[in-house]
Chains A and B, each alone.
Chain A
Amino acid sequence: MTQMESLWRHGIKTGFIGAVTVVLLALIGMVEAFSQRDIIAGVISMGHALLLVIAIFMGYIAAKRTALSGIGSTLINSVVSGVIIAGSLVLLILLGSWVNLRSIFMNASPALYSLLTFGIEFKNGWTFLLLAGALCGLVAGLLYQSFPTFRRILITSLSSVIIAGVLQDMLRPTLSAWGPISVISDWLFSSNGLSLSGAITLCLVIAVILFIWFQKRDILRTRFSRLPSSGQRTLRMAGYVLLVGIFLVLPQVLGLFLSEVLTIVGLYVLLGLGLNIVVGYAGLLDLGYVAFFAIGAYVTAILTSPELGFFSLTFWQALPFAVILGLLSGVILGVPVLKMRGDYLAIATLGFGEIIRILVLSDFLRPWLGGAQGIGRIPKASIGGYEFATPQQIYYLILAGCAFVIFISLRLKDSRLGRAWKAMREDEDVAQAMGINLVATKLLAFATGAGFSALSGAIFASKLSSVYPHSFNVMISINILCLIIVGGMGSIPGVIVGAVALVGLPELLREFAEYRLLVYGAALVAMMLLRPEGLWPEVLHLRELQDAQSSSADSETPAPSGARI
């Protein structure tokens, strides 16, 4: 008995984690909300896809945990995990038919139960559910045992079908807008979700492309490395030019709605890059970061808006003031918290963020700061005759801001100051013993981060044409911190990936928006368990790696690739 227990232990454990997850998701209404939309029309809805993905994912984890004990045991464990997850749903339905769960969980309705059994009546449905669970587990276990290349091709092509299905509302109009390409859209999509033939085609196309890529990848790499260095440089430059070109035409291709989403993501990237300096580079946990965003926005508003009538500068005239006041307030926040570390620092900075919000909200300061009504009629930025008014135009303003801030971040990272930040992040006392001026180093981190934040605030003010106190609540700081953690502390691409994942996706998916905080929490927990260094982690040992490549490579740094499975 004990032996069997230990044999199945990992399957049971991961199964229970998965079970709790699916039951929770069902009870809070996520499964039902997601079922409104089909991934593949008439075949599978988003809600069902969610359940299947969880069951397969947990089965995969179970297989991974028992990798050392042979194929048989791996498969058993992943099947056990799948059955437990399905079983939990069966139990939920049974429980729901005996007692009325609805008095506690609004969503525990017969509609949900019928959804959970895939529309089959419970009499047969429960066996079907258990079988489906076992099958998911089996698939996961086999997947784990299969060749890595095959596995990656399969997972990526299936994920792209899911992603295409999830983003259908965005993809369809975008594709249709492009004359001849609209044929693709018609082939791929039906009225609700991908068409079956479209889904299969998409899956195959992606699989073939990946297959060719995996075949030719090494050849291409060796060919690239054999090129003379001037040739390599030209190719690399061409790559960058292509990337820049893509960024430049993006809003034209994507259309109004997606461009709006892009500007929001871009603003968060800008904010994230600033906080990345404070938290990622210097290791200072700052929860009052939104304060500088507010300062940047309000300074711009006060200096440009005719509503208050003090000044009527243009956006560009006001921008330096906003940034400089941001920098200064970074120092002002920094001085009193110089001696604080970790959680104390977090609480103190949290307070600072609230102070600024309450100040701009106060009636007393209303003549100057607008009070609860905020400040309106902020002019748009313009260069020559070109006005940054629509989302598609503001996108370029934000893109320029991001490029500027990324450039500064990169330069800072390898500078003397960057090294001082790194030492301070690793160990404050020792950094000091190495001759690093802790006071200056800390204040510069706060000031730089605050300056970036104020810059984003200024752009934000001109984007919205108005500022309100309630735009600057503590959730903004939390969101930015989350996206940095999920993306990878200290990593610039990580900030971008994190912003796309945590800000972009919820904007795109109205179903997600309602569960935004839940998704954040789940993403954070999952990240801590699976990839504690983030989706695109900071490369800590770049120079050493390059050295190692020329001699014998023996690095243990994770490759900066996307999410590995």
Chain B
Amino acid sequence: MAAMLEVENIHSYYGHIHALKNLSLNINEGEIVTLIGGNGAGKSTTLRTISGLMKPRKGSIRLQDEELTRLLPHKIVEKGVVQVPEGRRVFGRLTVVENLEMGAFACRDGKLNRDNLDRVFTLFPRLLERRKQVAGTLSGGEQQMLAMGRALMANPKVLLLDEPSMGLAPVLVDDIFETIEKLHQGGTTILLVEQNARMALQVADRGYVIQTGVVVLSDSAQNLRKNEMVRKAYMGEN
């Protein structure tokens, strides 16, 4: 299998805080890989580093063997690595359609944009119903769908999802994971950051566990589900 995204020995800092220590991971084409870790483990930092919002001091990030490490964030989006930020963050004063149009900013192909819009509306019929509604008035679940739809408008090769289930009611969490599953079946490559390890390991092919910026464990999702440490620390079992 071809490696889609490779992250090799990166070190990221917030000032003096060494947030990621020699972190490596890779994602193959069409895979869902999940990144599990507690609060403050460095999950968001990893995504921010991949999408160029932070520059690693050392290490390298490659998309299909092409170096991303020194590129500016908007170039990385154009290459096809698109992040859905933590906490949804839709453009609250714009309508659903306008949010989606903003997602297509990096992609100047009008026909492709229309196809993508259709694809998003098929994936999220709720958004079609509410396309003229102001995004700030959507429910939490709908906002998460919108945030994901907006990222899909950028035509991603790799989708980076930062805690999509955070703060949602259990029913909606199921919905979101169902959608992730659908995207997976459609062939999208996904890096899924989650605190909800149980759900994440159900949809993922492989997983990495990080603690304080260090990868402590990596294995297939199946094996991680059985792993005692993972069960205790991240799935709330004894």
Contacts and interface: CB of A to CB of B under 8 A. Distances in A.
Interface of A: 416, 419-420, 422-423, 426-427, 429-439, 540-541, 544, 547-548, 554-556
Nearest to B82: A433
B77 A556 contact: no
B34 interface: no
B85 A429 contact: yes
B134 to A, nearest CB: 7
Contacts of A555: 132
A544 B85 contact: no
Given A423-B91, A426-B92, A430-B91, A435 B98 contact: no
A422 B134 CA distance: 15
A15 B20 CA distance: 60
* SS of A interface (majority): helix
B95 A423 contact: no
B106 interface: yes
B220 to A, nearest CB: 30
A115 B51 CA distance: 69
B89 interface: yes
Interface string B74-93: 10011000111100010111
Given A434-B150, A436-B105, A544 B83 contact: no
6 contacts: A427-B89, A429-B85, A432-B53, A433-B73, A433-B77, A434-B77
A548 B131 CA distance: 11
A544 B97 contact: yes
B92 A433 contact: no
* SS of B interface (majority): mixed
B77 A435 contact: yes
Contacts of A437: 72, 74
Contacts of B74: 432, 435-438
Given A426-B94, A540-B94, A541-B98, A434 B89 contact: no
B219 to A, nearest CB: 30
B94 A434 contact: no
A419 B103 CA distance: 11
B132 A423 contact: no
Nearest to A545: B132
B25 interface: no
Interface string B182-212: 0000000000000000000000000000000
User: Which 6 A-B residue pairings sit nearest by Cβ, starting from the closest?
Assistant: A435-B106, A435-B77, A426-B91, A437-B74, A435-B74, A432-B73
Contacts of B95: 541, 544
Contact of B83 (A427, A431, A433): A433
Residue picked from B74, B78, B101, most chain A C-beta under 10 Å? B74
B102 interface: yes
B154 interface: yes
Contacts of A433: 51, 53, 73, 77, 82-85, 151
B103 to A, nearest CB: 6
B132 A547 contact: yes
A544 B130 CA distance: 12
Given A435-B78, A544-B132, A430 B105 contact: no
A21 B112 CA distance: 59
A419 B83 contact: no
Contacts of B107: 435
A548 B82 CA distance: 32
B91 A427 contact: yes
B132 A434 contact: no
A434 B102 contact: yes
A431 B72 CA distance: 13
A544 B106 contact: no
Contacts of A432: 53, 73-74
Contact of B105 (A434, A544, A548): A434
A419 B78 CA distance: 17
Nearest to A541: B95
Contacts of B102: 419, 422-423, 431, 434
A439 B105 CA distance: 16
Contacts of B78: 435
Given A435-B73, A435-B154, A541-B134, 13 more contacts: A420-B105, A427-B91, A433-B73, A434-B102, A434-B103, A434-B150, A434-B154, A435-B106, A435-B107, A438-B74, A541-B132, A544-B95, A555-B132
A236 to B, nearest CB: 26
Nearest to A429: B85
Contacts of B83: 433
Contacts of B103: 434
A432 B81 CA distance: 12
Given A423-B105, A434-B105, A544 B73 contact: no
A541 B98 CA distance: 9
A427 B53 CA distance: 14
A430 B89 contact: yes
Nearest to A555: B132
Residue picked from B83, B85, B102, B103, most chain A C-beta under 10 Å? B102
B45 to A, nearest CB: 14
Given A433-B73, A434-B102, A435-B105, A548 B91 contact: no
Nearest to A556: B134
A429 B91 CA distance: 11
A430 B82 CA distance: 11
B132 A548 contact: yes
Residue picked from A422, A426, A432, A435, most chain B C-beta under 10 Å? A435
